[in-house]
A and B are shown apart, each in its own frame.
Chain A
Amino acid sequence: MPPTRADMTRRRLLPTRFGDWRGWAGRLALLALLWWILGGGEAESWRWGVPAIIITALVMPIPDLPLRPVAWLRLLPLALWLGLRGGIEVAWLACRPRMQLDTRVIEHRWQRLDDASGRLFMATLINLLPGTLTVRIDSDRLQVHVLHYRDGIAERLQRLEGQIDALFGGRHLRNEGSP
């Protein structure tokens, strides 16, 4: 008999919550950091904070973001730099007296990323980068609206996919190997 939805949920929750100590430690650390930020760093707030953090760690959906600090440290400065350039480019285009836009819709074929979370992450990140906006996410390609087309945008998307693959890559192989 095929497993029911409840069986699958139970199977997904129990071993992960109590067996994966790294995921457990990561969730606790993240929630503690959030509590510290929201509580303004006051020591008194931890009386309520500790039970709240433990209960939240038990009931929260498991984040599907990988913990790869080096890959995150590589991606973060690049994303901030591209975000700065994106804002400046749009500001420049919006303020020019004679507005000249070369808008296009281009297609980016997935080449390395085959993880759903990774693709969603890239589609969201593209919206914050210079001149690109995700229009549609398909199983084999991404439709991207370009505000002002320049050569090299396709190569930039390929590079970005490679960098995001460094964060999410290899998970499909593990998933295929697991029962």
Chain B
Amino acid sequence: MTEWLEVVSHLLVVAGALFFVTGSLGFIRFPDVFTRLHALTKADNLGLGLLCSGLALQADGLAEAAKIMLIWLLVLLASGIGATLVASTAAACGIRPWQNRTGASREAQQEPQE
């Protein structure tokens, strides 16, 4: 592996780990199940994508790199479908989305668009 490729690979892995940290931070700080799902489906998936890309650059061959990226693709699929299932179950159980108590933010049922 050329030296610059190794540098890019390490940068991607570090960036991926940072997005995992922010996803976990969102999971702790966000107020309800719906907002926490945003943190898990977006920041963590981006983190895993960067991590897998960094590791794929260090792979021995194309097939191995493709295998690492396939892991990301499968996690993306599972995460996207899982998030809908968790959110719809929460809504069906009567959990109301969080709204900001200051009034600056609000949950609103927007009028259906014609």
Contacts and interface: CB of A to CB of B under 8 A. Distances in A.
Nearest to B49: A83
B106 A105 contact: no
Interface residues on B, range: 35 or more
Which 9 residue pairs across A and B have the least CB separation, nearest first? A87-B46, A94-B26, A41-B63, A91-B22, A124-B80, A102-B105, A86-B42, A127-B83, A106-B110
Contacts of A133: 34, 37-38, 41, 83-84, 87
B93 to A, nearest CB: 12
Interface string A44-85: 000000000000000000000000000000000000000110
A105 B77 CA distance: 23
B63 A36 contact: yes
A90 B109 contact: no
B25 interface: yes
A159 to B, nearest CB: 13
B107 A91 contact: no
Nearest to A140: B112
Interface of A: 34, 36-41, 83-84, 86-91, 93-95, 99-109, 123-125, 127-128, 130-131, 133-137, 141, 143, 145, 147, 149, 154
Interface in B1-50: 18-19, 22-23, 25-26, 29-31, 34-35, 37-39, 41-43, 45-47, 49
Contacts of A147: 35, 38
Given A90-B23, A109-B113, A131 B38 contact: yes
A124 B46 contact: no
Given A40-B64, A101-B100, A130 B42 contact: yes
A137 B61 contact: no
A70 to B, nearest CB: 21
Given A88-B46, A124-B81, A107 B106 contact: no
A84 B35 contact: no
A128 B41 contact: yes
B38 A100 contact: no
A86 B81 contact: no
Contact of A87 (B43, B88, B104): B43
A35 B80 CA distance: 25
Contacts of B45: 83, 87, 128
Nearest to B47: A87
A34 to B, nearest CB: 8
Contacts of B79: 127-128
B23 A94 contact: yes
